Amino acid sequence: MNDRAMWIGGQHVTAPDAGWIDSRDPATEEVIGRVPAGGAAEVAQAVAAARDAADDWRYTAANDRAELLHEAYAKSMAHHGELVELLTREQGKARPEQEEEAEWALTSLRYYAELGRNGVGRVVPSAEPRTQLNLVLKEPYGVVGAIVPWNYPLLLLSWKLAPALAAGNTVVVKPSELTSLVTLEWIERCFDHFPPGVVNVVTGYGTDAGEALVAHPDVRVIAMTGSVATGQRIASVAAPMMKHLHLELGGKDAFVVAPDAELDTAVDALAYSALLNAGQVCTSSERIFVPQGMRDDFAEALSAKVSGLRLGHGLEEGTDIGPLADDRFRDKVDAHVRDALDRGARVLTGGVRPDRQGWFYEPTVLVDVDDDMVIMTEETFGPTIPVASYDDFDAAIERVNASEMGLGATLRSSDPLLIKRFYERVKAGTVWINDPLTDNYAGPFGGTKMTGGGRELGPEGLETFLETKHVHWDFDQASKDWWLPY
């Protein structure tokens, strides 16, 4: 049994009275390890360690912080194979996708090491240029709480941890209860050269450890990726303390095929953007809009493609699609499909749980869907592709914008007039033209509307962990003629 301790103040910390959380391989349902079910006491211990380390870390030169991040990258590369294997066992998606996640997570360390080294404030013009200096400083907040989901546990941690550290903050990480083993493995092996207390991990349930971290008065920033409901709860707990919130919440991304689009390549792009990580991506394409005249051919080609994909354990050679991360997520996917079928949709392929061990769901193509079906309004987070049709391109854009969420959107087209109209009109944090779900270290990623307004990656991803201070400095001690008395 892989029993783990938490990582607090550079030490392994057990919580003998807290109980344990089992971690399972979602493809076999086997327990592969346990982590402590930490709560308020362990959070308090970790925040104290982070607070004690904060002052020295803030005054550590940015060049030295950069070198420590580069060293974390080098250690991570040395443990790459083990990390990817554990990530696959605990999280489930196919190995090539885990390798891609690891690459993104690790390169972010290097990207933010360099961005932090080049950090800048400003000197702005003074009212009295001969005797005054006006500085705009960018300072770390102090202790950051990083709350992470299970679908990309290393990548979404890295997008918080790397910029927070580069900016001079110390961090307390609360991983998802489903992916705590791989998080602990990464941090304790690859960040053990940081001064004690700079990086800490407290494991536990969201409602216990997570909420205790949000409520702790010494944690000034909460950077969280997760569902809208959790984001709302965190916002309500943090609001009375006026904490800085960085929230990356759910999505219901649209994928629009323009009338000029090539059918076969649009099918390929959609199968990838809807089924990557078994559809458990915040930017999964979950609402598909295809021109009416193209719909039948498109749906037929899509269903032929999807029915040829192979389900399997993420570590098995040739697996295209792994299991869902938990049985309750599979129940939700199935409920969305049943609701659509009850209301007149048709399944072209999939729509069932295969008869095998593990939390698998057959990749599913649906047609005859209406925009008000649950599968078109709520985040499904599974391998489902509901295909709707449209007559008018502008009306399709309105339907894209009808969602309360606004994370990403994809268009397949080569028509510049349609493309420009689409990216200007669509309310989303990222718009992909032809190449869905591709990120860029230098390009900010995040959402609008109920998805929350946080931005990760790019300079914006560093800025979120820096507080602005204006220093007005007069070298002259003389009294001013506008001072009292008048």
Instruction: Give catalytic residues, as residue numbers.
Output: 248, 282
**Interface stretch with ligand NAD, choices 12-20, 162-170, 242-250, 390-398 (CB under 6 A):** 242-250
Cβ distance to ligand NAD smaller for residue 214 or 400: 214
Which of 97, 185, 211, 362 binds ligand NAD (CB under 6 A)? It is: 211
**Interface stretch with ligand NAD, choices 10-18, 33-41, 248-256, 294-302 (CB under 6 A):** 248-256
Q: How far is CA 362 from the centre of its chain?
A: 25
Taking the C-alpha atoms of residue 461 and residue 246, their distance in angstroms, rounded to an integer, is: 10
Cβ distance to ligand NAD smaller for residue 75 or 216: 216
- Which residues, numbered 437-456, are part of the site for ligand NAD (CB under 6 A)? 447, 451
Cβ distance to ligand NAD smaller for residue 106 or 245: 245
By CB under 6 A, is residue 148 in contact with ligand NAD?
Answer: yes
The tokens describing 235, both together, are 């916002």
The tokens describing 15, both together, are 């919580």
Give the CA distances from residue 304 to residues 101, 338, 396, 411, in Å, rounded to whole numbers and listed in that order: 28, 22, 25, 22
Axis-axis angle for helices 95-117, 62-78 (nearest 10): 160
Which of 98, 108, 158, 230 binds ligand NAD (CB under 6 A)? It is: 230
Cβ distance to ligand NAD smaller for residue 149 or 351: 149
Give the CA distances from residue 234 to residues 121, 137, 241, 293, in Å, rounded to whole numbers and listed in that order: 31, 29, 12, 46
By CB under 6 A, is residue 458 in contact with ligand NAD?
Answer: no
- Which residues, numbered 88-147, are part of the site for ligand NAD (CB under 6 A)? 147
By CB under 6 A, is residue 248 in contact with ligand NAD?
Answer: yes
- Which residues, numbered 376-435, are part of the site for ligand NAD (CB under 6 A)? 379, 381, 407
Which of 26, 163, 226, 382 binds ligand NAD (CB under 6 A)? It is: 226
Q: Give the containing element (helix H, strand E) for 106.
A: helix 95-117
User: What are the E-state strand segments in 232-301?
Assistant: 244-248, 253-257, 285-291
CB of 108 to ligand NAD, least distance (A): 14
**Interface stretch with ligand NAD, choices 219-227, 262-270, 350-358, 411-419 (CB under 6 A):** 219-227
In degrees and rounded to multiples of 5, residue 281 shows phi and psi of -120, 140
**Interface stretch with ligand NAD, choices 77-85, 95-103, 247-255, 350-358 (CB under 6 A):** 247-255
- Which residues, numbered 2-61, are part of the site for ligand NAD (CB under 6 A)? none
CB of 235 to ligand NAD, least distance (A): 10
What is the edge-to-edge ordering of all strands in the sheet holding 122-124?
A: 122-124, 132-140, 466-474
CB of 234 to ligand NAD, least distance (A): 5
For ligand NAD, how many residues bind (rule: CB under 6 A)? Answer: 30
**Helical H segments across 361-426, by residue range:** 374-377, 393-401, 416-425
- Which residues, numbered 266-295, are part of the site for ligand NAD (CB under 6 A)? 282
CB of 23 to ligand NAD, least distance (A): 13
Of the chain, the end-to-end C-alpha distance in Å amounts to: 78
Give the CA distances from residue 280 to residues 151, 166, 195, 324, in Å, rounded to whole numbers and listed in that order: 6, 29, 35, 8
Taking the C-alpha atoms of residue 383 and residue 162, their distance in angstroms, rounded to an integer, is: 31
By CB under 6 A, is residue 254 in contact with ligand NAD?
Answer: no
Cβ distance to ligand NAD smaller for residue 112 or 150: 150
Question: What would the x/- binding string for ligand NAD be over residues 335 to 374, using CB under 6 A?
Answer: ----------------------------------------
The tokens describing 60, both together, are 């550590």
Cβ-closest position to ligand NAD: 206
Cβ distance to ligand NAD smaller for residue 152 or 390: 152
Q: Which residues pair with 12 in a beta bridge?
A: 7
Nearest residue to 169 (alpha-carbon basis) of 223, 123, 132, 240: 223
For 440-459, give the secondary structure using H, E and C.
Answer: CCCCCEECEECCCCCEECHH
The tokens describing 205, both together, are 């349930």
CB of 291 to ligand NAD, least distance (A): 28
User: What are the E-state strand segments in 339-390?
Assistant: 346-349, 364-367, 384-390
CB of 380 to ligand NAD, least distance (A): 10
Q: Which residues bind ligand NAD (CB under 6 A)?
A: 147-151, 156, 174, 176-177, 206-207, 210-211, 214, 225-227, 230, 233-234, 248-251, 282, 379, 381, 407, 447, 451
